[in-house]
Structure 1
Amino acid sequence: MEPIFFILQALLDFVFYYPLFMAYLWMVGGLDYYLRREYRKARPDELPSLSSYPLVSIIVPCHNEAEHLHDTIGYLFHQRYPDYEVIAVNDGSTDETGRMLDDMARENPQLRVVHFETNQGKAMGLRMASLVARGEFLVCIDGDALLDPDAIFWMMQHFLEGPRVGAVTGNPRIRTRSTLLGKIQVGEFSAILGLIKRAQRVYGRVFTMSGVVSAFRKTALHHVGYWSVDMMTEDIDISWRLQLSHWDIRFEPNALCWILMPETLKGLWNQRLRWAQGGSEVLLRYLRHMFKWRSRRMWGVYFEYFTSIIWSYAMLLIGLIWLWGLFFPLPADMRLPTLVPAWSGVVLSLTCLLQFAVAMFLDSRYERGLGRCYYVMIWYPLAFWLINMFTIVVGLPKALLKKRGERAVWTATDRGIY
């Protein structure tokens, strides 16, 4: 039974050390990014001076967004950038979205509206809007997001400084924080997503842009064929396609955008399952590219996500062995007395809190009051790790079984309590 013991011990070590290693890798990378690229940069209230101010097209794909349209579109008309247009796509909405958009377009000539008769999906909406856009640079946000009035300045700085910059991902901030899940997500977007993007920029490539707030160079989009209409997460897919074609993606923490997130377990599950399936679809579709030397800068993000999938299944296997041992006898080498964390759980919890502290320090210059959410983050490993683990376990088979070419369309979304 010794080989089984060693395999089980290796799984236990992997389950423990992998998140520990990644946490410190992200912290080191995030601090390096901050010290070399962010610390001496102007603060959010100090706008950068641009060499020119080309026309920017702001694209807002909408599906049944009547509840949020006045806030989202109205906020766009307060942008401080001097030259921009707004293109809203009514993607087969069954509520008052289309009528409201037409009314707003009559009142403001900066707004143009594209109507789809049926639900075509976010990727198709982005495609159509980019083709009719007059600007070379596109800023894309969701239909329930509030774009900071200065965000375009910060993103345009990257395009004007780097001709190989194909896209810039912004810094989404959470508006929904009335429940424990909402408050935990405030810390998650700082400690996990923001820190990871900083670290990935230092180590090579980013896994994905933030689909809720991103900017693109139209030339780069045309080069890669625009967004794929059959991918569950069009933001991950376009991020990989741009970088595999050697376009650079940058992260701009000053480009703030306030967003709504799920605050129920059902809504959170559906969102994270979509993310997990979309990530798996990207890994499967671009697997062949990972064997090419020209794609070597993507090896890191591919290996990172692939390892996270292995970690999720390893966690599931250990959990199943423990459950089996509660009801049926197991060989001594396979017995797991408990899954309740002991010293290893304390180490992981302290590392998790340290990671949140580092990330909240980095993001404190963009959002005040983050410290109020710090102490609820102790629940993050228990709640969100389990949800993310199970969604990855379910998402991979869904990606494997999905028919290629099947259109990804809009579904109902939990927008939280606000």
Structure 2
Amino acid sequence: MLLLYILIGVYSLGMLFIFFYSLAQGHLLFHFIKARKEGSISPEPLSQLPKVTIQLPIFNELYVSERLIEAVSKINYPQELLEIQILDDSTDKTSDLIKEKLTSYPDVNFQYIHRENRKGFKAGALKEGLEEAKGEFIAIFDSDFIPDPDFLNKTLPYFSDQEVGLVQTRWTHLNRNYSLLTRLQAFALDAHFLVEQMGRNHQSAFINFNGTGGIWRKSCILDAGNWHSDTLTEDLDLSYRAQKRGWKFIYRPEIESPAELPPIMSAVKSQQFRWTKGGAECASKHIASVLSGKFPIHTKIHAFAHLFNSAIFIVILVVSLTSIAVWWAGVMGLIPENLFRIAGVFMIGFVIIAGVYLVSFFYGKRNFFQSLIGALWQLPLFLSVSMGLALHNAQAVWEGLTGKTSPFVRTPKFNLESGKVKLKTNKYLPSKIPVTTWFEGVLMLVFLVMVGLNIWAGTYAMLPFHLMLAVGYGLVFVTSFQSYGLSK
């Protein structure tokens, strides 16, 4: 009985964590709505155009590097004030492709910088490039982006305020409709780039540079200590260091930066692992100084929620496993029925979280009823797949919080929407199936059994939860297995 009570206690604490997490999300939603109602004030154009450096960090990108170079060459800005650094760490034929492509643009100020050792990975490349950068402002685009030709003209006016250190733009998605997986990723990212970023920025809470699609004041980067490579999310790390120094960040959702979404589960997992582990590493690095700093209480609360938001995956994993014991205790009559009614209050948290994603999903949609149909199936599938990723991401968070180091593994790019590249011919596909993938298959079977037991026992309180877990782990397992098999 003692073990059962411990499991019920752990389950309750996990639900409490999810509830408080949802309240923070709800507060961001409130400020997002306020920001939307207030609108934005267009800044005054700069009296004198500054010199700008665009940095393009690239590592083994056979399928997108040429597209990126072509897009950046179309940036609408005086050539004498613009330099474009190609920070190439490639160890394959990408370097030859880049050099060949650059011959097509003799009048564009491209600076090709190739490193042999990849020291510091992306952060190291950006730092070394910064040493040679002549621009007063530094724009950064990853290899899977297609920058807006007017990106600089739209972002630079916000730097008329000398305290502004960064302007971040909103990611949009080149291949949103490619597959179910890309649709669900877009569903998730839209919530971050609308509700979360706008909600934090509206109340002057800490926001983050998203690693690409943003432009920095060079002096801000240097004042904050330059790029560090001691976390897997160098963008989040520098963002917190700069804002702790007093620099202002501006987020502009109307300025769009189109990019590619990973089309297969192995690539999604690679990206998710880096983001969640890096976020946990930044939490360990910054939370003490933020909480002890002279910041408003709401800033500290949202910084805590921001830095530790990846811990939600550990909580979901723990709650899902302990829910089996709670279900059994309920069937056996070991838990008073009144406690189940009280526990229903915590379900409000799931309603709030669902609301955040639904609001972002309907943002800018013209046909309400068509969008409603899309939301009705995408929301439960998104929540299911998010739960199905809990095991994989929980491992990443645990490694980040405990200080286990790992190399920066970039997400493979595909450029499938061009029609020129086939998925199975991609040279960057992984071949080895991780052990966690097999455990995801085991968890799929466990919760399928629980679905059957819920129906057999006639207890339906946890049936939706267990059904979503079975579907989520099943989708993650099957799509993972399929994507790892593509390289064979």
Same fold (TM over 0.5): yes
Question: Post-superposition shift, 1:265?
Answer: 2.4
Matched, 1:27 2:29: yes
Matched, 1:249 2:254: no
- Say how many residue pairs are matched: 400
Structure 1 equivalent of residue 82 of structure 2: 84
Structure 1 equivalent of residue 168 of structure 2: 169
Q: Please say which of residues 371-380 and 137-146 is displaced more in the overlay.
A: 371-380
Q: Distance in 1 between matches of 2:102 and 2:416?
A: 29
Distance 1:205 1:291, change over 3 A: closer
Q: Distance in 1 between matches of 2:295 and 2:24?
A: 22
Question: Post-superposition shift, 1:125?
Answer: 1.0
Q: Distance in 1 between matches of 2:47 and 2:208?
A: 28
The answer (yes or no) to whether the contact 1:276–1:395 under 8 Å persists in 2 is: yes
Q: Distance in 2 between matches of 1:225 and 1:306?
A: 20
The answer (yes or no) to whether the contact 2:280–2:308 under 8 Å persists in 1 is: no
Matched, 1:323 2:324: yes
Q: TM-score, normalised by structure 1?
A: 0.83
Q: Distance in 2 between matches of 1:238 and 1:372?
A: 40
Distance 1:195 1:137, change over 3 A: same
Q: Kindly provide the amino acid, as one letter, of the partner of residue 320 in structure 2.
A: G
Question: Post-superposition shift, 1:187?
Answer: 2.3
Q: Kindly provide the amino acid, as one letter, of the partner of residue 135 in structure 2.
A: G
Q: Distance in 2 between matches of 1:172 and 1:201?
A: 16
Question: Post-superposition shift, 1:231?
Answer: 1.4
Structure 1 equivalent of residue 65 of structure 2: 69
**Runs of 5+ consecutive residues of structure 1 not aligned to the other structure:** 43-47
The answer (yes or no) to whether the contact 1:154–1:254 under 8 Å persists in 2 is: no
Q: Distance in 2 between matches of 1:127 and 1:277?
A: 22
SS at match of 1:208: coil
Distance 1:203 1:300, change over 3 A: farther
SS at match of 1:286: helix
Question: Post-superposition shift, 1:303?
Answer: 1.9
Structure 2 equivalent of residue 45 of structure 1: none
**Runs of 5+ consecutive residues of structure 2 not aligned to the other structure:** 418-488
Q: Which has the larger radius of gyration?
A: 2
Question: Post-superposition shift, 1:72?
Answer: 0.6
SS at match of 2:321: helix
- How far does the alpha carbon of each residue in 1:152-191 deviate from its partner, in whole angstroms, 9 at most, with x for none? 122212112x111111111111112311110122222222
Question: Post-superposition shift, 1:372?
Answer: 8.5
SS at match of 1:315: helix
Matched, 1:98 2:119: no
Structure 1 equivalent of residue 460 of structure 2: none
Summarize the alignment of residues 304-323 of structure 1 with structure 2, pairs less than 5 Å apart: 304-305=305-306, 308=309, 311-323=312-324
Question: Post-superposition shift, 1:66?
Answer: 2.4
Q: Distance in 1 between matches of 2:259 and 2:224?
A: 28
Q: TM-score, normalised by structure 2?
A: 0.72
Identity %: 19
Q: Distance in 2 between matches of 1:169 and 1:17?
A: 30
C-alpha root-mean-square deviation of aligned residues, in Å? 3.5
Distance 1:156 1:118, change over 3 A: same
Structure 1 equivalent of residue 437 of structure 2: none
Structure 2 equivalent of residue 197 of structure 1: 197
Structure 1 equivalent of residue 13 of structure 2: 11
Structure 1 equivalent of residue 356 of structure 2: 355
Q: Distance in 2 between matches of 1:148 and 1:213?
A: 10
Q: Distance in 2 between matches of 1:238 and 1:402?
A: 19
Q: Distance in 2 between matches of 1:396 and 1:335?
A: 35
Summarize the alignment of residues 392-403 of structure 1 with structure 2, pairs less than 5 Å apart: 392-402=393-403
SS at match of 1:122: helix
Q: Kindly provide the amino acid, as one letter, of the partner of residue 251 in structure 1.
A: Y
